[in-house]
Amino acid sequence: MVDTPAGLVARCARYALDTLADVTGALIRPVVTAVLDRIDLDAVVARVDVNRVADRVDVERIAARVHVNRIADRVDVDRVIARIDLVGLTREVLREIDLGRIVRDTGGGMTAETVDAIRLLGQRGDRSVNRLADRLLGRAGAPPDTTAEPPPRQAR
């Protein structure tokens, strides 16, 4: 089989690149090994800002992969949860949402609604007693009830 000039050039180029890759690998491996042998990796790692690295960790992605990679079999979730300061965390959450203000606001609204409901029940009871008294006393043509119920209060 006779090579074309372009095929011959392509074969020579592949051979040169393969040879260069072999030579480069043979030279680089020992150099990299010698450099790594001289580096104190503990000192390098000690200089790493772990908090900065942790800020870049995508926890949701890790959590999504836990089941897929069977990491859950190696992680004791109960032990992790036991290390969480739930009381401190709860205090912090309550401090952030100002639970006292929410209870005061909600309680005030509920109190007003309860008072309105009791007032309406009292008015209805008064009307019922008046109608009963009118019937017992034989009052005919008693004036119609003109007391209107107040509109319900708006929630705060």
Digit-by-digit pLDDT tens for the chain (156 residues) are 567 888 888 888 888 888 888 888 888 888 888 888 888 888 888 898 988 988 888 877 777 666 655 655 666 777 777 888 888 888 887 777 776 777 777 766 677 778 888 888 888 888 888 888 888 888 876 555 555 555 566 555
Do 50 and 13 share a structural domain? Answer: yes
Residues 2 and 52 grouped into a single domain:
yes
pTM beyond 0.75, yes or no: no
**What is the distance between the alpha carbons of residues 91 and 96, in angstroms, rounded to a whole number?**
9
**Domain identity same for 109 and 155:** yes
Counted domains in the chain: 3
Residues 89 and 109 in one domain: no
- Structural domain for 143, as ranges: 99-156
Whole-number Å distance between alpha carbons of 88 and 138: 71
